[in-house]
Amino acid sequence: MFLVNEIFTSFQGEGLKIGVPSLFVRLGKCNLKCTWCDTKYSWNEYKEYSLEILVNSVRYILNSHTEISNLVITGGEPLLQEASLIEFIHQIKDLVQSIEIETNGTVSSKKLLGQSKIFFNVSPKVGYYNTAILQEFRRSTHTIFKFVCKTPEDVRSVVNLAINQDILRSQILISPEAVTCAEVSSVSKDILPEVLRAGFRLTTRLHVILWDRLRGV
């Protein structure tokens, strides 16, 4: 059984695959309650889907949208439902070229790490991460770490975490903490000098730039 918040088509708004047409499956529930989270609605709003219904729903959408070859599984925290995800991914894997799993990095995923086509977008929260689990993700060539930052001090905290956890700078993306187009611009400008100094890559929030707080896009 899956707890599903929403399913929709759009493009990936963040990370290495920014701009890529994608199908999003947002799962419900999260083990963290970050005050700055922009998808708090996923914590308690969800419907129960059987494996068959979810697979058929995804297959129908992908067959109707042949331009989409990337599946994004997000949340909430999707790895809370890893046991069910394993079989779901097994059944739909051949329908797409890539599968991105967006996770906060506090839940282990040894059974999915390293599988072909599966990429992890890990977004650790400074002060809420698990060292052993971060190391599992760090060792995978299919992992990138996306840190959400609002101030130059946040970026410096990421520098310290990267040093302590031996995370390569090439694995790290910095994303502005922003839920409106205006905030994306202002926060990006504020943190840019520190991002450049650290040698990180700056990503943006393309969906927020276009639609602000609108859901399902």
Give the domain ranges of the chain. Answer: 2-211
- Alpha-carbon distance of 175 to 149, in angstroms, equals 6
H helix and E strand count, the chain: 6, 9
- pLDDT of amino acid 40: 92
Q: What is the pLDDT of residue 35?
A: 84
Give the number of other CB atoms < 10 A from CB of residue 209.
15
pLDDT tens-digit profile of 31-87? 998 888 889 999 999 999 999 999 999 999 999 999 999 999 999 999 999 999 999
Yes or no: say if 60 and 1 are a contact pair by the CB < 8 Å rule. Answer: no
pLDDT of residue 47: 96
Helix (H) or strand (E) holding 90, with range, is helix 82-92
**According to the model, what pLDDT value does residue 30 have?**
95
Strand-pair category, 47-49 with 2-11: antiparallel
- Using 70 as the pLDDT threshold, list the residues of the chain that sit under it: none
Question: Which pLDDT score, from 0 to 100, does residue 130 have?
Answer: 84
The pLDDT assigned to 210 comes to 87
Looking at residue 34, its pLDDT comes to: 85
CATH superfamily of 2-211: Aldolase class I (3.20.20.70)
> In the prediction, which pLDDT does 80 show?
96
CA atoms of 79 and 77, how far apart (whole Å):
6
Strand partners, 47: 4
What is the model's pLDDT at position 129? 78
Residue 176, pLDDT score: 96
Residue-level pLDDT at 183: 95
Strand order in the sheet with 70-74: 47-49, 2-11, 21-27, 70-74, 98-103, 118-122, 143-149, 172-176, 201-202
Give first-to-last CA distance, the chain, whole Å: 25
pLDDT, position 126: 74
